[in-house]
Amino acid sequence: MSGKFERKSLTILPVTLSQTAGYSDELLKGVLNLPLSSRFDYNNISSKYLKDFENEFRKSAFDPKDPMGDKSKEAITKAIINSALEPVVRIVCNQDSIDDRFKRQQKRVVTSAASNEKIATTGEQDALLLINGAFIPVVVLYNVESKDNTATATGTVYWYRIDATNVTWDLNNQQKNGGSIYPTNFKDVKVNFVSANNLTSVGVVRKKDEKEDKSAGGKLLGAASKAIEESPEDAKLSADQRAVKGLPEQIIKVAYTMEDFKIRGVVQTVDPDYTIDVGKKEDAYVDQGYKIYETRLGADKKPYSVYTGFIRVDKVGNNVNNIEDSRAYSIIASGIEQGHVAVSHDQGLDFYIRPSYKTVNIPKEIGRLVYSSNLYNEDVNSSINIDAGLYFNLAKVTNVPQLFIGINASFGFPNATSADAFDGTTQSTLQVDISVMKKIWLSRFNVFGEINFGVNSFSIGNIPTLSDSKLTIGTGLAYGAGVNAGLEYAFSADLNIGVQAGYRYVLPTTTLTTQLGDGEKKEYSKENNLGIWSIAKLDDLNLGGLNLGLKVSYSLPPFF
């Protein structure tokens, strides 16, 4: 199956626990005037059915003292079934709805005759996918608090999803219904609770000398819609009415964070380039990842998805006023075909950890900073390290694919055993830097290059003293810069494992620091302590050199 009906739809049902000050009417207006989102369809049922639902809700066993209890959730379910469910299903399964979606695909998909025939197929399976993609968010307004010219409305949105997997379809009356396919018995359609989220909306009445207020609910986070000028009618609204009217808009904010409402498109071409029918209108961006699925219908008539790959956008299509697809390249391709569903897989920071081997030069005489003996039996020329860091993708800002800025830290341990006099002490190296990295992908493999700039230091800690406190002696921060290159393999959309090699140059240290316990840190310069530098051979200390490591990185989901 092509998967063209994976697009979700919303039918919002609002209700208030109090009808004071016209809250119910303002909540209804907020629903009916809700700005459309490009990510999903919005089914605007008539105010009659919205009122019917409100009446059923008020007769239900909803418990305001336990709004998240099973009793309250079941009460909402019954209110939906007894009022708005049938009109919602009729809208979703209406032939006009099917035709609209079909025409959209027919305009965008350039296919062979065989593929066109497959995509043009509408019927029971299409209706089933449409109805199972229909969500009913129920907005329950609890309270409105006003202070001066500002009011805050609070409530909860209860997410319900229509389930028609066990429905039989009235195919005999399809022609009489204008081509629409409806269930034989609407009582077979189920409504399942999915989740719930708290909502908050603020309304403000501005003074005459302040800037004119914009849309009641404010600008939506991440939404494509823009704030609009107030109508004369809205300008007369009180602060609490504005807050209530803007409450349904908060659903868009919540929906943008939910798995079911991620950006979805369809693979248009696979050769010579992968293209998908999303673009600027859907807030697509360079380097946005998409997991690809083939939607199939099982023997039990339940749709299920088969993962076929992962692609990443490298050129965003301008589809605001035109039909222009976005171009992508494949990372994982295990049977991606034209017509498969592309589901956005947004990635935030990339976290990595890398055990590494580095060449250094730590003179054995450095121990004479503490005692009249060497720290090691011979100079140390290598260290074992644990490196970790975070990379932020700059593609949204620069439009350059796979360009990252990172912050990195490396903790190293000299590859040697300290002399007996230093038993119980610790020796370690530290490197902290920022870096810029570029990746180039070749299917599952990527090659990367990186430059970095930061600081390095060496320290001896846990040194016993005559007091109960321990002494720590360390070199001051020495500036360094380096280059790295490597090769990675994508085990999944988020997990990469590879190898890395590089070189770093570090300037000689010019300061020493000492700290007794948690006391004040003291600093000593080379200029005023040439004798110490000579005895400990600090000029021979080199914390730079070659490095080789095994890198494991994982892409974290966005935090905002």
105 and 252 fall within a common domain: yes
Q: Which residues contact 275 (CB under 8 A, 6 or more apart)?
A: 267, 268, 269, 317, 325, 326, 327, 328
Average pLDDT of the residues of the chain: 83
Q: Which two tokens stand for residue 266?
A: 């369809």
Cα distance between residue 4 and residue 97, in whole Å: 13
Q: Which residues contact 273 (CB under 8 A, 6 or more apart)?
A: 327, 328, 329
In this prediction, what percent of the chain has a pLDDT beyond 70?
84
Query: Residue 499 class from Cβ within 10 Å (0-12 exposed, 13-18 middle, 19+ buried)?
Result: middle
Domain-located, residue 304: yes
Domain-located, residue 219: yes
Beta bridge partners of residue 498, listed in sequence order? 488, 551
Q: Could you identify the residue written with the tokens 């719930």?
A: 196
CB 278 within 8 A of CB 268: no
Q: What is the mean pLDDT of residues 407-434?
A: 93
460 and 446 fall within a common domain: yes
How do residues 302-323 score in pLDDT, each as one tens digit?
Answer: 778 899 999 999 999 998 888 8
CB 376 within 8 A of CB 417: yes
CATH of the domain at 513: 2.40.160.20
Q: So what's the pLDDT on residue 122? A: 47
Q: So what's the pLDDT on residue 117? A: 37
Domain-located, residue 240: yes
Say which residue, 255 or 192, is predicted with more confidence: 192
| Of 509, 405, 410, nearest in space to 452 by CA | 405
The listed range with the strongest mean pLDDT (22-26, 113-117, 231-235, 493-497) is: 493-497
Total domains in the fold of the chain:
3
Question: Comparing 18-22, 27-31, 92-96, 316-320, which segment has the lowest mean pLDDT?
Answer: 18-22
405 and 330 fall within a common domain: no
User: ∠525-530-533 over CA atoms, to 5°?
Assistant: 85
338 and 373 fall within a common domain: no
Distances (CA, A) of 410 to 128, 384, 385, 402, 488: 54, 10, 6, 23, 20
How do residues 459-468 score in pLDDT, each as one tens digit?
Answer: 999 988 878 8
Domain-located, residue 498: yes
Last residue of a domain, one of 229, 259, 289: 259
Question: Comparing 53-57, 332-336, 347-351, 369-373, which segment has the lowest mean pLDDT?
Answer: 369-373
Q: Given pLDDT bands bounded at 50, 70 and 90, which one contains residue 391?
A: very high
Distances (CA, A) of 520 to 114, 477, 512, 529: 78, 17, 14, 20
Question: Is the pTM here over 0.95, yes or no?
Answer: no
Q: What is the mean pLDDT of residues 204-227?
A: 44
Domain-located, residue 147: yes
Q: So what's the pLDDT on residue 4? A: 38
| Residue numbers of the domain that contains 212 | 4-259
Q: Could you identify the residue written with the tokens 């032939």?
A: 95
Assess whether pLDDT exceeds 60 at residue 114. no
337 and 251 fall within a common domain: no
Last residue of a domain, one of 259, 284, 299: 259
Cα distance between residue 140 and residue 62, in whole Å: 11
390 and 461 fall within a common domain: yes
Q: So what's the pLDDT on residue 16? A: 86
150 and 36 fall within a common domain: yes
323 and 402 fall within a common domain: no
Last residue of a domain, one of 316, 345, 374: 345
400 and 491 fall within a common domain: yes
200 and 334 fall within a common domain: no
H or E stretch at 295: strand 289-297
Distances (CA, A) of 539 to 130, 167, 361, 379: 73, 82, 10, 13
76 and 149 fall within a common domain: yes
Cα-Cα-Cα-Cα dihedral sign, residues 103, 105, 109, 115: negative
Cα distance between residue 269 and residue 340, in whole Å: 10
Domain-located, residue 55: yes
Domain-located, residue 560: no
Domain-located, residue 175: yes
CB count in 10 Å sphere of residue 255: 22
Question: Comparing 70-79, 118-127, 420-429, 486-495, which segment has the lowest mean pLDDT?
Answer: 118-127
271 and 254 fall within a common domain: no
CATH of the domain at 281: 2.40.10.410
Q: So what's the pLDDT on residue 212? A: 45
User: Phi and psi dihedrals of 110, rounded to 5?
Assistant: -100, 110
